[in-house]
């Protein structure tokens, strides 16, 4: 939830390491890491095109000071690997993009926003394990069948 907590230096170091892993110089393309699909870092300018260019998009709203937010990074990356390219995954830094936080009425962090054809269709606030988000994603985007679902 919103509020300062935890060791900020340690958290910032973890987030910087994750970003370096995603944007490594030896890996072609921005935000790309070995075996990872694109996880877009979204801004006010890129948000709308991102959620409308694909039928399904999931956005993680986070902040560097948010205690549970780093726990969501590997979960979010695993979901992106599993559901790409049918579902696009992006992240919004709440501190850098307060206008998006207000626009989507984000009241706690982390918040996961689910978009279908550019329209917000579901949201979750808090840190959740992979299985919980996997089930929610399938329930929210049940059509067409997502990877692993019966056709």
Active site residues: 66, 69
Residue 9, SS3 per DSSP: helix
Cα 27 from Cα 22, distance rounded (Å): 8
Measured CA to CA, the distance from residue 58 to residue 114 in angstroms comes to 5
Please name the helix (run of DSSP H) or strand (run of DSSP E) that holds residue 83, with its range, or none: helix 69-83
Instruction: Tell me how far the alpha carbon of residue 80 is from its chain's centroid.
Output: 8
**Rounded to 10 degrees, what is the CA torsion of 6, 131, 109, 96?**
100
Residues in CB range of 113: below 8 A, 6 or more apart: 58, 59, 61, 104, 106, 120, 122, 123
């Amino acid at each position: 939830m919103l509020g300062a907590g935890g060791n900020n230096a340690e958290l910032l170091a973890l987030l910087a390491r994750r970003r370096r892993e995603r944007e490594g110089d030896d890996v072609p393309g921005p935000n790309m890491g070995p075996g990872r699909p694109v996880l877009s870092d979204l801004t006010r300018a890129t948000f709308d095109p991102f959620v409308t260019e694909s039928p399904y998009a999931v956005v993680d709203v986070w902040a560097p000071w948010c205690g549970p937010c780093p726990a969501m990074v590997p979960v979010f990356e695993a979901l992106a690997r599993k559901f790409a390219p049918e579902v696009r995954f992006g992240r919004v830094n709440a501190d850098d993009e307060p206008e998006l936080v207000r626009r989507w009425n984000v009241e706690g962090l982390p918040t996961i926003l689910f978009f279908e054809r550019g329209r917000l269709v579901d949201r979750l606030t808090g840190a959740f394990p992979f299985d919980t988000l996997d089930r929610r994603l399938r329930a929210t985007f049940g059509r067409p069948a997502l990877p692993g679902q019966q056709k």
